[in-house]
Amino acid sequence: MSAEKLEVLEKSKAFWNPNKTQFWQDVGVDLVIDKREGYFLNDMDGRRLIDVHLNGGTYNLGHRNAELIEVLNAGAKRFDMGNHHFPALARTALAEALVGCTPAGMKYTIYGAGGAEATELAIKSARNATQKRKIVSVIKAYHGHSGLAVKTGDERFSKTFLSEDTEGEFIQVPFNDLQAMEDALKGRDAAAVIMETIPATYGFPMPHEGYLPSVKALCEKYDALYIADEVQTGLMRTGEMWGITKYGVTPDIMIIGKGITGGMYPISCCVVSERAGQWLKQDGFAHMSTAGGAELGCIVGLKVLEITQRPEVVSMVRYVADFIRAGLDDIQDLYPDFFIGIRQNGVVMGLEFNDPEGAKPVMRHLYENGVWAIFSTLDPSVLQFKPGILMTQGLSEDLLRRVEIAIGRAAAEVQGSGRRRAG
Amino acid sequence: MDPAIAQLVDISGSDAAMRAHADMVLERARWASQVFQRYDRDQTLKIAQAVAKVAFAKAGDYAQWAVKETGFGVAEHKKLKNELSSTPLVEFYEDRDFVNPRLDERTGIVEVPKPAGVIFALVPSTNPIATVYFKTLCALMTRNAVVMCPHPAARECCVDAALTLARAAEEAGAPEAVIQVVERPTIPLINEFMGSEKTDVILATGGTAMVRAAYSSSNPAIGVGPGNAPVLVDETADIAAAARHIADSKAFDNSVLCTNESVLITLESVAKTLKQELKKAGAHICSDDETKALRGYLFHERGFNVEAVGRDAVWIAEQAGFKVAKSVKVLVARIGLIGVGEDLSREKLCPVLAFYVASSVQQAVMQARSLLRFAGAGHSAAIHSTDMQTIMDYSAAVEAYRVVVNAPCSQGAAGFDTNLAPTFTIGTGFLGRSSIGENIGPQHLVNWTRIAWHKQSDHPASMLDIGALSHPGPLPKAPSDGVPGESRPKNAGGAARGKPADDLREQIRKIIVEELRAVLKD
Ligand SMILES: Cc1ncc(COP(=O)(O)O)c(C=O)c1O
């Protein structure tokens, strides 16, 4: 490690986050990201990594996408964040564009600066619309770290801050368990069910066939709104614009973040139906956010929506998904005892290993082999594997080659080298 | 959307956007080409045949569309060209194998085909649909992906044709986007495509400027230069037949094929009869005044008047200021000079034929040679003669890579009335500043990896000795799966992915090989 990097790490511990900085050193990932472009990250000491973490899809279109830079620069010649109290050209344009590409019934866009804020907006809107407080979410769901959002998630994130739900307003049920969902809803006292279309931080377990539509039906039956968290499943990552519509569900509220501005100028969007957004007609000042819907972000967001829906992109995602899947199947055949499952919808993928912490050594060996992918915080047996939708054929092939090596090494390490390869 | 915002977000004219556009189209093509290389010969041929069939069926519609959109040529002839560039083209190459390995039994060298990958194909306005058909089918026969780039004047018909073929290809099982088209070509965008590292080869047919740009792009290019074919008619020729062929050729699609005869060179002893026969065949012999008017109309300071490209003889005469009978198909203009100083000895993509009389066969041959050195080097020439020595002398002298004998040059040099390879891309070779000197065909879109053993060691003696290439076919669709607790049975994915089938194929292959060996031993 260079002296410069060492110094950055020391200062990072001193001024930023000592524990988190140390954690990465302990797991063997001494990464300080410096230059980045396309699907590549460069460590400050110069090592190049293929990024299949993408911050949960933030860099869906690649790091520093040239078209997004171009449009952001053009925007900066005319706009800044804007004044959040006033009608504004860019905010309105993005809201209109979102209505154009989200499921029928979506009406208004309420803006935030990050995903958690959009979750707050979704929950607050649902509570206002239904005049009920209870929020049902899924065990090991993740919708952000802010006040209400954090209560929908795992206590691992709320207890530290004495911020877990103490009022019994936040109910959590197991994913893929319809009976539990119905039990939670049948008192008709729930304002909403909030669901990641595929729970990311939980390692992308896929919904049972029919599960999501049934949850939506239960919501209708018991008068609760359906909030679809599309932060990681939106924007073509499942091969369709929104994961939730691919599953045939029309939500009442959608949460969109991360990739909507390609990591260039953060904003988030909470898109609501007429009913869910009724407060916007009664008291528009009820929620405020200075950086929410910053106009430069909206300009970038418009470009993201346009790029994402190009026919070229739609077929690239299919190619990437099919090709990488075929390669992963082959790798799985080599290490069937260790690499035990592939969870996939489009380029949303989780790789499951036969060890409760199995994704961590895989992550480290990937890192050593020039690939950056992260374990699932709430299920470290699963590696989040999130290739970008514009991955090239060459890079996909290179990626698979590295993944095979890394999984092999991790398997040997975890299971002992005697049973390395099958066949 | 508010117009101010729409304008702000529209960065399509920026370098970044144009590069991104080219990148995306070419990367998508790369995916298609890589998947296409998994296909075996049968699958490949079936796709080419299916696309050719659709192309054939639409030949007439697109011919009319092209004439309507460009104003060039004759619909009925374009239909014929389109047809020839569809099913017959595939049939012509059907027994050529661009998919399987081959063995040179003399040297023991084994050759493995490697398709070019991503082809960027420029389409001229003069032969738009035929070129789209031709280049697409050449690409398909060799498992390449192609991006068509139409000339703006023929944009609409070409875009539609390319999309039609793309649909047909996908329906026949080709990888998605194996055929794409640049729907709004502009010069900077085309340069972006041509200069991109993601383009493997440029198939450039079009104006000289475009072809030179392709060669200057830093990418491999197969470009063609302009033509300016001489045609020699000597005393030994069947004069009536020669006149008919020449008139037919000039009238064919109003001479938009760059293989059309430009200057007819003949001898005093033949000139009179030839003129009479030409008249019979539908030509009008221009007076000196008419020739002058024609020259003035057809050639401006900047060169050939593009307004006249592919127009019919009657229309051209009228524009030049004289009248001819409605039945006239070709205008013949007598010239006394070839080369600098006589514009009519330049390429003319219209049914105007210059007519030069030489005093000897030897002089005629030299005039033909100088004509091609003046313009059109490396392209085509024709001769009507039965004297084998004259034909040989002529062919040796002219700087053309194809000499058509006793046949119409338009159709003949393009391989439709001769046994030359049928093509709409005429390689003009080194003489014509091109990389290839023969009629371009699918074989030019594949390179071969040569496997060579030590001279002193044993090398494969027969096809039975060489390994197999794996052709697993289309990429299987990725399932949307991974419900916890429902993990797929071990190797289930493998089974769905046809691996056992592959194993089976391999086993069958081995059995056959063993049997053949036994038979051969006996
Ligand atoms: C599904 C999902 N929802 C919400 C969020 C919160 O977004 P943010 O980190 O921008 O607040 C995340 C972030 O990881 C997420 O993955």
Instruction: Kindly report the backbone phi and psi dihedral angles of residue A341, in degrees, each rounded to the nearest multiple of 5, phi listed first.
Output: -160, 150
Q: Calculate the dihedral angle through the C-alpha atoms of A297, A300, A301, A305, rounding to the nearest 10 degrees.
A: 180
Domain range spanning residue B44?
A: 13-224+441-469
The Cα–Cα gap between B480 and A348 comes to: 10
Residue A138 neighbours by CB distance under 10 Å: 26
Does residue A350 have its Cβ closer than 6 Å to ligand 1?
no
Same domain, B185 and B244: no
Residues of B in contact with A315 (CB under 8 A): 28, 31, 176-177
Our measurement of the distance from residue B258's CA atom to the centroid of its chain's CA atoms, rounded to an integer in Å, reads 11
Same domain, B282 and B201: no
Identity at A38, one-letter amino acid code:
G
Does residue A120 have its Cβ closer than 6 Å to ligand 1?
no
Instruction: Kindly report the backbone phi and psi dihedral angles of residue B312, in degrees, each rounded to the nearest multiple of 5, phi listed first.
Output: -85, 165
- The reported pLDDT for the residue numbered B1 is 83
The Cα–Cα gap between A66 and A64 comes to: 6
Parallel, antiparallel, or unpaired for β B352-358 and B261-267?
parallel
- The reported pLDDT for the residue numbered B508 is 65
Q: Which residues pair with A269 in a beta bridge?
A: A111, A256
Does residue A259 have its Cβ closer than 6 Å to ligand 1?
no
Whether the pLDDT of residue B495 is over 50: the answer is no
CB A322 to CB B491 under 8 A? no
CB B479 to CB A344 under 8 A? yes
Our measurement of the distance from residue A374's CA atom to the centroid of its chain's CA atoms, rounded to an integer in Å, reads 12
pLDDT band at B498 (very low <50, low <70, confident <90, very high): very low
Ligand 1 centroid to residue A113 C-alpha, Å: 11
- Considering B426, B452, B469, which residue would you say is the last residue of a domain? B469
The Cα–Cα gap between B111 and A79 comes to: 61
B459 in any annotated domain: yes
Name the residue of chain B whose CA is nearest to A91's CA: B5
Q: Which token pair is B451?
A: 């496997």
The Cα–Cα gap between B149 and B20 comes to: 17
Residue with tokens 């390692």: A203
HEC per residue, B280-321: HCCEEECCHHHHHHHHHHHEECCEECHHHCCCCHHHHHHHHC
B337 in any annotated domain: yes
Q: Which residues pair with B115 in a beta bridge?
A: B446
The Cα–Cα gap between B119 and A160 comes to: 59
Same domain, B290 and B341: yes
CB A207 to CB B9 under 8 A? no
Give the model confidence (pLDDT) of A182-209 as tens digits. 999 999 999 999 999 999 999 999 999 9
Give the count of domains, chain B: 2
Residue B461 or B513, more confident: B461
Instruction: Kindly report the backbone phi and psi dihedral angles of residue B455, in degrees, each rounded to the nearest multiple of 5, phi listed first.
Output: -50, -40
Does residue A266 have its Cβ closer than 6 Å to ligand 1?
no
Per-domain residue ranges for chain A? 31-64+311-415, 66-308
Residues of A in contact with B19 (CB under 8 A): 66
- The reported pLDDT for the residue numbered B224 is 86
B50 within 8 A of B169, measured Cβ to Cβ: yes
Same domain, B217 and B310: no
Share of chain A above pLDDT 70, in %: 98
- The reported pLDDT for the residue numbered B513 is 64
The Cα–Cα gap between B25 and B178 comes to: 10
CB A329 to CB B494 under 8 A? yes
Task: Count residue pairs from A and B with Cβ separation < 8 A.
Answer: 135
- SS3 call for A210: coil
| Shortest Cα distance, chain A CAs vs residue B423, angstroms | 30
Residue B284 neighbours by CB distance under 10 Å: 22
The Cα–Cα gap between A318 and A321 comes to: 5
CB A325 to CB B479 under 8 A? yes
Whether the pLDDT of residue B501 is over 90: the answer is no
Does residue A200 have its Cβ closer than 6 Å to ligand 1?
yes
B132 within 8 A of B161, measured Cβ to Cβ: yes
Residue with tokens 């475009």: B210
| Shortest Cα distance, chain B CAs vs residue A14, angstroms | 40
- The reported pLDDT for the residue numbered B459 is 86
Same domain, B102 and B150: yes
Residues of B in contact with A96 (CB under 8 A): 1
Of B11, B19, B497, the CB nearest to A329: B497
3-state helix, strand, coil in chain A (%, to 5): 45, 20, 35
Residue A336 neighbours by CB distance under 10 Å: 17
Q: Is the ipTM of this complex over 0.90?
A: yes
DSSP state of A26: H
User: Measuring CA to CA, how many Å separate B418 from each of B59, B382, B397, B402, B408?
Assistant: 22, 12, 21, 11, 9
Residue B231, C-beta contacts closer than 8 angstroms, at least 6 positions apart: B246, B261, B263, B264, B265, B381, B382, B383, B384, B409
Interface test with B, best of A65, A91, A319, A353 (most B CBs within 10 A): A319
| Shortest Cα distance, chain A CAs vs residue B23, angstroms | 10
Of A78, A97, A205, the CB nearest to B483: A205
- The reported pLDDT for the residue numbered A420 is 47
Ligand 1 centroid to residue A146 C-alpha, Å: 10
Of B16, B27, B497, the CB nearest to A66: B16
Residue with tokens 């050593």: A368
Whether the pLDDT of residue B20 is over 90: the answer is yes
Residue A187 neighbours by CB distance under 10 Å: 11
Give the model confidence (pLDDT) of B204-235 as tens digits. 998 888 899 999 999 999 988 899 999 999 99
CA-wise closest residue to B123 among B170, B84, B66: B66
Does residue A144 have its Cβ closer than 6 Å to ligand 1?
yes
The Cα–Cα gap between A59 and A259 comes to: 6
Residues of B in contact with A347 (CB under 8 A): none
Same domain, B269 and B199: no
Same domain, B193 and B218: yes
Q: Which residues pair with B301 in a beta bridge?
A: none
Residue B7 neighbours by CB distance under 10 Å: 11
Does residue A114 have its Cβ closer than 6 Å to ligand 1?
yes
Ligand 1 centroid to residue A148 C-alpha, Å: 13
Same domain, B37 and B155: yes
Instruction: Kindly report the backbone phi and psi dihedral angles of residue B213, in degrees, each rounded to the nearest multiple of 5, phi listed first.
Output: -60, -40
Point out the ligand 1 atom lying closest to the alpha carbon of residue A145.
11
Tell me, what CATH number does B283's domain have? 3.40.309.10
Residues of B labelled catalytic: 258
Ligand 1 centroid to residue A144 C-alpha, Å: 5
Tell me, what CATH number does B162's domain have? 3.40.605.10
CB A89 to CB B27 under 8 A? no
Same domain, B208 and B270: no
CB A316 to CB B27 under 8 A? yes
Give the model confidence (pLDDT) of B407-466 as tens digits. 999 999 999 899 999 998 999 999 999 999 999 999 999 999 999 999 988 888 888 888
Residues of B with CB under 8 A from a CB of A: 1-2, 4-6, 8-9, 11, 14, 16-17, 19-20, 24-25, 27-28, 30-32, 34-35, 176-177, 475-484, 486-488, 490-491, 493-494, 497
Same domain, B68 and B131: yes
Same domain, B396 and B257: yes
A66-308 CATH, one of 3.40.50.150, 1.10.20.10, 3.40.50.2300, 3.40.640.10: 3.40.640.10
The Cα–Cα gap between A53 and A349 comes to: 10
Ligand 1 centroid to residue A114 C-alpha, Å: 8
Name the residue of chain A whose CA is nearest to B25's CA: A312
How many helices (H) and strands (E) chain A has is answered by: 16, 15
B31 in any annotated domain: yes
Q: Which residues pair with B378 in a beta bridge?
A: B400
Q: What is the mean pLDDT of chain B?
A: 93
Instruction: Kindly report the backbone phi and psi dihedral angles of residue A191, in degrees, each rounded to the nearest multiple of 5, phi listed first.
Output: -75, -40
A227 within 8 A of A208, measured Cβ to Cβ: no
* Buried/exposed B369-380: b ≥16 CB within 10 Å, e otherwise: bbbbebbbbbbb
Concatenate the DSSP letters of all residues of B458-476 into one string. ----SGGGSPPPP---SPP
CB A299 to CB B9 under 8 A? yes
Q: What is the mean pLDDT of chain A?
A: 96
Residues of B in contact with A66 (CB under 8 A): 16, 19-20
CA-wise closest residue to A98 among A89, A85, A88, A108: A108
What residue's CA is closest to ligand 1, atom 2? A143
HEC per residue, A45-74: CCCEEEECCHHHHCCCCCECCHHHHHHHHH
Ligand 1 centroid to residue B270 C-alpha, Å: 88
Question: What pTM does this model have?
Answer: 0.92
Residue A410 neighbours by CB distance under 10 Å: 25
Give the model confidence (pLDDT) of A257-283 as tens digits. 999 999 999 999 999 999 999 999 999
- Considering B451, B469, B487, which residue would you say is the last residue of a domain? B469
Same domain, B146 and B236: no
Give the model confidence (pLDDT) of B43-71 as tens digits. 999 999 999 999 999 999 999 999 999 99
Instruction: Kindly report the backbone phi and psi dihedral angles of residue A400, in degrees, each rounded to the nearest multiple of 5, phi listed first.
Output: -60, -40
What residue's CA is closest to ligand 1, atom 8? A115
The Cα–Cα gap between B219 and B194 comes to: 7
* Domain at A31-64+311-415, CATH homologous superfamily: Aspartate Aminotransferase, domain 1 (3.90.1150.10)
Most distant pair of Cα atoms in chain B: their distance: 95
Residues of B in contact with A208 (CB under 8 A): 483, 486
